[in-house]
Amino acid sequence: MGEKGNPWPEIFIPNSWKEAANSIAFNSSDSPPIAFICGAKNSGKSTFSHHLLNTLLDSYYKVAYLDTDLGQPEFTTPGCLSLHVIDEQTPDLTILSMKTPVRCFFFGDTSSKRDPKAYLDNIFRLYDYFQMEYYKSNELADSNIQLPLVVNTPGWVKGVGYDILVEMLRYISPTHVVQIRISAESKNLPTGAFWLDGSQKRLVNLIDISSARQDSSNRSLLTQKDGRLMRDTRIIAYFRQCFRSDLNITTKNELAYALASHPPYEVPISRFKVMHLHRQVPFSEIFHSLNATIVGLAVSSLKPTESKTSTPWCVGLGLVRGVDLSKELLYLITPVPGYNLEKVDVLLQGFIEIPTCLLQVRGCMSPYMSMDVLPAN
């Protein structure tokens, strides 16, 4: 953990960030905080959110984390909206950490632009689940059973992105709103409680901090990111979970070869309903369109009952290695355990692409399957 004054020595955390996190984590309120982190692109929202998560874990045995950033999620692959319950700190904030969410939606895109309404609906359903399971007061239970929540948001803060952020703030009604401001003032959100109109009176703690990138004399994670590379890295890390952690796979090429030879699950096509997100596909092409794609694995019985528009809860992602229409079989590679895969009856196809490096191996995504397959009951 490092010395007490600097528990995460791998990156620079400004004093203003530490003070902001402490003011949220060690507040005197009877209820745990609900902290909403917002700001322009590359301002450091994910880094601060993770630092706040670690700080809250000094006071709470578990902390909920709602990730609404489709392009750069903290614990899942791109295209997912997720709710996590975290019970241990991450000492090194530079290390990519993949975690299994308690609830997840597969939105199927790295931006909400294609369908802002569905995006908001999915976030609202995740927040409702948090309220019901981890925050709703229970007179018969100890109040400590309620968990604090950190909400991480995307950096699209202008135009429709601003409108989406306002809707999120009004629905979630956080106890604390942290706005990270960058030096380019025109790219920042308005100051104050900008999402409330004059008729709305809510108690909220407003915290403004500056991006750590403005302090060029100190080391920080907040450097300009190659978005595509970051997204590919997360997808690669996810499918690396198909193999034992002690297996010697250290490069992208090694992973590509490992996936090429990894026995896929053999699943009857008739078992699945296919939902194409944000587009329509002719009925005759539905299963052809799945070949060599990443799909969300969903369970229809887990669809939020109060929602008419949300897709079912997603239990993980799969890589469709091949489709054999003559045998009416689909070949699937996924780290989702078999006992969960047995429940999957919906495939969600969006626009999340397989990293190019995983396609550059002969036979890796070939539709011609060997006999080395795993049956899925």
What tokens does 76 get?
């899942």
Of 121, 100, 148, the C-alpha closest to 303 is 121
Kindly state the percentage of the chain with pLDDT values over 70.
Answer: 84
Question: How far apart, in whole angstroms, are the C-alpha atoms of residue 74 and residue 154?
Answer: 11
Kind of pairing between the strands at 63-67 and 80-86: antiparallel
- The answer to whether 344 and 317 have CB atoms below 8 angstroms apart is no
What tokens does 26 get?
């060690």
Query: CB atoms < 10 A from the CB of 340, how many?
Result: 14
pLDDT given at position 288? 82
pLDDT tens-place string over residues 2-12? 334 444 445 77
Looking at every residue in the chain, the average pLDDT score rounds to 85
**Does the pLDDT value for residue 308 go beyond 90?**
no
- pLDDT category at 280 given cuts 50, 70, 90 is confident
- Within the chain, strands assigned E span 34-39, 63-67, 80-86, 103-106, 149-152, 176-181, 205-210, 265-268, 273-276, 294-298, 314-324, 329-333, 346-349, 374-375
Q: Where in the chain is the domain with CATH 2.40.30.330?
A: 257-375
Identify the weakest region by mean pLDDT among 175-189, 219-233, 317-331: 219-233
- The answer to whether 293 and 341 have CB atoms below 8 angstroms apart is no
When pLDDT is averaged across residues 152-176 and rounded to a whole number, the result is: 96
One of 3.90.420.10, 3.65.10.10, 3.60.15.10, 3.40.50.300 is the CATH number of 15-214, namely 3.40.50.300
Q: Where in the chain is the domain with CATH 3.40.50.300?
A: 15-214
- pLDDT category at 62 given cuts 50, 70, 90 is very high
pLDDT given at position 228? 81
When pLDDT is averaged across residues 121-130 and rounded to a whole number, the result is: 96
- The answer to whether 107 and 295 have CB atoms below 8 angstroms apart is no
pTM: 0.88
Enter the CATH code of domain 257-375. 2.40.30.330
- The answer to whether 127 and 172 have CB atoms below 8 angstroms apart is yes
Output b/e per residue, 143-172; b: 16+ Cβ within 10 A. Answer: eeebbbbbbbbbbbbeeebeebbebbbeeb
- pLDDT category at 218 given cuts 50, 70, 90 is very low
